[in-house]
Amino acid sequence: MSDDVKISVRNLYKIFGGNPQEALEKVHAGMGKVELQAETGHVLGLNDINIDMPAGKTTVIMGLSGSGKSTLIRHLNRLIEPTAGEVYVNGENILDYNERRLRRLRQKEMSMVFQKFALLPHRTVLENAGMSWTIEGKSKRAYAEEATKWLDRVGLEGQADQYPAQLSGGMQQRVGIARALTSNSDIMLMDEAFSALDPLIRTDMQDLLIELQDELAKTVVFITHDLDEALKLADHLVILKDGYVVQQGEPQNILLHPKDPYIEAFVGDINRARVLRVRSVMQKTSERPDNVGGEVDHDDTLENVIALSEGDTTKNYIVMRNGQQIGVLHMRDLVRALVPRKPGEAAAAG
């Protein structure tokens, strides 16, 4: 496993039922999820999952209800045992871990933020934030400074002595994030962490996560069923359906090049101008074009460029990154990128 891969999942299967190994043989022979359940009563939760999750980046795993995303994330810290396959963290197969080593993984190397907050109601905000230290037998005095630092960082200044019931839902989720950060783990697992929040609070939490990632570069695995949220947060996007990976990669590339009718339908209603970035549409060149309309940053949205051009499709823009030209954006290419594929076009083209 290369240094830039933090978590690697290889040939992972999960079958729920009384005789999963016998059912696995049927899956290997080509039986699908619906047929397997109808014939054997077993549920195919994960079907040959292979994913490399980059270190210091956010991998978003998304799909509709029943796609297997929550089942998958619980394999990363062995809350669920696989039927077959391997899960590597920092190059070590965690399925080889004994109970002591597994506890260390969960306490020191991975933290988890849940949708339902999972705060202890009889403990204060400070005590909840320092829970990983408490589990290790350390006193409040030992963790108070570290926990307070992260509570302040997530916007909970002055709330340390409050109890969870005294906080709003958004504030409770901030405690969950502070708890994960106080543990000082390199990996954060976030299972539908913002799904229970109101839309405005949810947007604030997304912005907070992006801000923290810019600063801390944690390896984040984020589960969601919301495509807008996935496109906003993901460095690496994995889309599941019925327990298997339909497509994975850089979100911009998936949006521009969906390889399956399911993905085409999934991304069809997205506001592409608001999501797509200049770097995904530009032509890589150091040459200066004709009819230059100005300079744009490689990470600007196409929506920003449209506003800058005032609708003039004859203009071209020099694309800059860190003060250097890295490409040219032709407005005709921008307009072409705004037209989504119709479901089935990928299959017809491929």
6, amino acid identity:
K
Question: Which residues, other chains included, contact 347 with Cβ-Cβ below 8 Å and sequence gap of 6+?
Answer: 260, 261
DSSP string over 259-307? -SHHHHHHHTTS-HHHH-BHHHHSB--SSPPSSEEEEEETT-BHHHHHH
Model confidence over 55-101: pLDDT tens digits? 999 999 999 888 999 999 999 999 999 999 999 999 999 999 999 99
DSSP state of 341: P
Q: What local confidence, expressed as pLDDT, does residue 82 receive?
A: 97
Q: What local confidence, expressed as pLDDT, does residue 243 receive?
A: 94
**Chain region(s) in the chain for CATH 3.40.50.300:** 52-76+98-249
Question: Which residues, other chains included, contact 306 with Cβ-Cβ below 8 Å and sequence gap of 6+?
Answer: 273, 334
Model confidence over 146-190: pLDDT tens digits? 999 999 988 899 999 999 999 988 888 889 899 989 988 999 999
Task: Examine the pLDDT at 341 and tell me if it is beyond 80.
Answer: no
The answer to whether residues 246 and 263 touch, using CB atoms and an 8 Å cutoff, is: yes
* Element (DSSP H or E) covering residue 60: strand 58-62
* Element (DSSP H or E) covering residue 54: strand 43-54
Q: What local confidence, expressed as pLDDT, does residue 339 receive?
A: 85
Question: Which residues, other chains included, contact 149 with Cβ-Cβ below 8 Å and sequence gap of 6+?
Answer: none
Segment 250-254 mean pLDDT:
91
Q: What local confidence, expressed as pLDDT, does residue 274 receive?
A: 85
DSSP state of 1: -
Query: Over pLDDT 90: what percentage of the chain?
Result: 63
**Chain region(s) in the chain for CATH 3.90.1280.20:** 272-337
Model confidence over 134-145: pLDDT tens digits? 888 888 889 999
Least confident span in 106-115, 191-200, 309-318, 335-344: 335-344
pLDDT-derived band at 49 (thresholds 50, 70, 90) equals: very high
DSSP string over 233-263? H-SEEEEEETTEEEEEE-HHHHHHS--SHHH
- pTM here? 0.86
Domain 52-76+98-249 fold: Rossmann fold (3.40.50)
* Element (DSSP H or E) covering residue 222: strand 219-224
The answer to whether residues 208 and 155 touch, using CB atoms and an 8 Å cutoff, is: yes
Model confidence over 264-322: pLDDT tens digits? 888 888 888 888 999 999 999 999 888 888 999 999 999 999 999 988 888 999 999 99
The answer to whether residues 317 and 294 touch, using CB atoms and an 8 Å cutoff, is: yes
Question: Which residues, other chains included, contact 127 with Cβ-Cβ below 8 Å and sequence gap of 6+?
Answer: 120, 134, 140
Q: What local confidence, expressed as pLDDT, does residue 348 receive?
A: 57
* Element (DSSP H or E) covering residue 92: strand 92-93
The answer to whether residues 7 and 89 touch, using CB atoms and an 8 Å cutoff, is: yes
Q: First CA to last CA across the chain, in angstroms?
A: 31
b/e map of 298-335 (b: 16 or more CB within 10 Å)? bebbbebbbeebeeeeebbbbbbeeeeebbbbbbeebe
Q: What local confidence, expressed as pLDDT, does residue 275 receive?
A: 86
Burial class (CB in 10 A: 0-12, 13-18, 19+), 52: middle
Q: Tell me yes or no: is domain 272-337 CATH 3.90.1280.20.
A: yes
The answer to whether residues 213 and 240 touch, using CB atoms and an 8 Å cutoff, is: no
Q: What mean pLDDT value characterizes the chain? A: 90
The answer to whether residues 84 and 13 touch, using CB atoms and an 8 Å cutoff, is: yes
Q: What local confidence, expressed as pLDDT, does residue 277 receive?
A: 92
